[in-house]
Structure 1
Amino acid sequence: MKTTPQTFISKARIGGFDDLSAHFGKDTPSSDATTYKPVALFLVAGLMVVAVSLLTSDVLFTGRMIEWFISMVLLDLQRLQDVERFASMFRNYDTLAQRWVQYGYVYPFVETGAGLLMMAGVLTWLSAPAALFVASIGAVSVFKAVYIDKRELKCACVGGDRKVPLGLVSLTENPVMVGLAIWMLMKII
């Protein structure tokens, strides 16, 4: 089969998500249509960071801006819109979620909490290790799925939007978060 998971009803194979949606009479966009539109979140995040920085310090660029931008809370908002859908797609490639299904449901809350704490500059001893943990697993998982297993999957990174391909853009988020977590840990040592 080209897609996983496959759905069966009364021992009859229905197929993947699009086939199941059609079976129940729901329209879905083609899963083959690829888009990078959600990357616009990065632009919005950058503009928000500039606005907050100017509001709080009258300086266009500060070191805190990098921390605010990289925290990726806007991406987490996308994930939290439909945690069930996110967790389902996330299991397709995340190595921990494949072994412990609940991790797919916990992940967006851990990352959101870590991002918000990092933005606030509080409880770094908690937020940085949490971000380091989820981002490290994410980086290994995406790298394995895309470059070792050579699977063509859609990314759950924007909340389960099936049109965003899992690849370099998806992989970039995790090492950047690893770097931020290490940076934050170094600041408290």
Structure 2
Amino acid sequence: MPVNQPHKSATLYRMVMPKHTCPYGLKSKDLLERQGFVVDDQHLTTREQTDAFMAEQGVNTTPQTFIAGKRIGGYEELRVYFGEIKPESERANTTYQPVIAIFTMALLMALGLSWYHSGSLFTLRAFEWFISIAMCLLALQKLKDIEQFSTMFLNYDLLAQRWVRYSKLYPFGEALAGILMTASAFIWLASPVAILIGSIGSVSVIKAVYIDKRELKCACVGGDSQVPLGFISLTENLLMVAMGCWMLLKPTLL
């Protein structure tokens, strides 16, 4: 780790061309300045100049940062140097960050709608909106790349393994149920869809994770997910089942 000292300086080589400014170069410069470094900002303004620099340094990418005459590397290496992240070899290959972001956004949106609708944050309708909006956001993640999602989904979903087309229908079903429940419209359609896909998903996760003891990535936030299949996936499916049942029974209970 670097030793704190006054007037720290660093040299940064980054691409700044008429039609392209490297975003990682900007991030590196910002990080260095936030760490108190005076940056000698060297611009690589042509493709030829960039290629010559990389050949001279024996690297394949820019930007490149030098501190005290030592090459630190690109933006990721600079973050490691300053202790912002762990080296790649020490990083976990799973993360819950996408799920946390989605459920947090869904909760805040639900509270905002509740405040607008009734002047109160914590209402029954806010809880319903939280679940339905979360379903919409999760469906959106899946629909970003439905082919990749379906491939990952086929690893564990029991119905999809018997009827492959279901792996591509699932996100549309989740989106439809979420949208209709948000609007409290056509509940006769939305609730059965949510109950059906949630029940199948719950059984599939229980079998794959808790019975077969398989270590898989969850397709709940899309096909590029690094979220482990398990509690989060099971919770998503159980919430859909609970929401479907609640929306069907609510008129008789209230």
TM-score, length basis structure 2:
0.61
Q: 1:154 aligns with which of 198, 217, 224?
A: 217
Q: What secondary structure is seen at the aligned counterpart in 2 of 1:56?
A: helix
Find out whether 1:79 has 2:139 as its counterpart: no
Higher relative contact order (CA 8 A, sep 6+): 1
In the alignment, residue 67 of structure 1 is paired with which amino acid? E
Q: 1:56 aligns with which of 100, 103, 117?
A: 117
Q: What secondary structure is seen at the aligned counterpart in 2 of 1:155?
A: coil
Provide, for residues 129-152 of structure 1, a one-character-per-residue CA deviation record: whole Å limited to 9, x for no partner. 010000000000011000011100
Asked whether the 8 Å contact 1:124–1:188 carries over to 2, the reply is: no
Q: 1:34 aligns with which of 85, 90, 94?
A: 94
Q: What secondary structure is seen at the aligned counterpart in 2 of 1:165?
A: coil
Q: Which residue of 1 aligns with 2:164?
A: 101
TM-superposed CA distance for 1:62, in Å, is 1.4
Asked whether the 8 Å contact 1:132–1:177 carries over to 2, the reply is: yes
Q: Tell me how many residue pairs correspond in the alignment.
A: 160
Q: What secondary structure is seen at the aligned counterpart in 1 of 2:215?
A: coil
* Partner Cα distance (1:185, 1:51) in 2: 25
The 4+ residue runs of structure 1 with deviation greater than 4 A are: none
Unpaired runs of 5+ residues, structure 1, are: 1-28
In the alignment, residue 94 of structure 2 is paired with which amino acid? T
- 156-165 or 126-135, which moves further after superposition? 156-165
More strand by share: 2
* Partner Cα distance (2:224, 2:119) in 1: 37
Find out whether 1:185 has 2:240 as its counterpart: no
TM-superposed CA distance for 1:188, in Å, is 4.1
TM-superposed CA distance for 1:53, in Å, is 1.1
Q: 1:172 aligns with which of 215, 231, 235?
A: 235
Q: Which residue of 2 aligns with 1:130?
A: 193
Q: What secondary structure is seen at the aligned counterpart in 2 of 1:162?
A: coil
Unpaired runs of 5+ residues, structure 2, are: 1-87
In the alignment, residue 49 of structure 1 is paired with which amino acid? A
TM-superposed CA distance for 1:119, in Å, is 0.5
In the alignment, residue 233 of structure 2 is paired with which amino acid? S
- Over aligned residue pairs, what C-alpha RMSD do you find? 1.5
* Partner Cα distance (1:103, 1:188) in 2: 31
Q: Which residue of 1 aligns with 2:104?
A: 43
In the alignment, residue 36 of structure 1 is paired with which amino acid? Y
In the alignment, residue 143 of structure 1 is paired with which amino acid? I
In the alignment, residue 93 of structure 2 is paired with which amino acid? A
* Partner Cα distance (1:162, 1:126) in 2: 29
Provide, for residues 10-61 of structure 1, a one-character-per-residue CA deviation record: whole Å limited to 9, x for no partner. xxxxxxxxxxxxxxxxxxx99x711111122101110111111111211111
TM-score, length basis structure 1:
0.81
TM-superposed CA distance for 1:125, in Å, is 0.5
TM-superposed CA distance for 1:177, in Å, is 1.1
* Partner Cα distance (1:78, 1:158) in 2: 5
Q: 2:131 aligns with which of 66, 70, 73?
A: 70
- 58-67 or 75-84, which moves further after superposition? 58-67
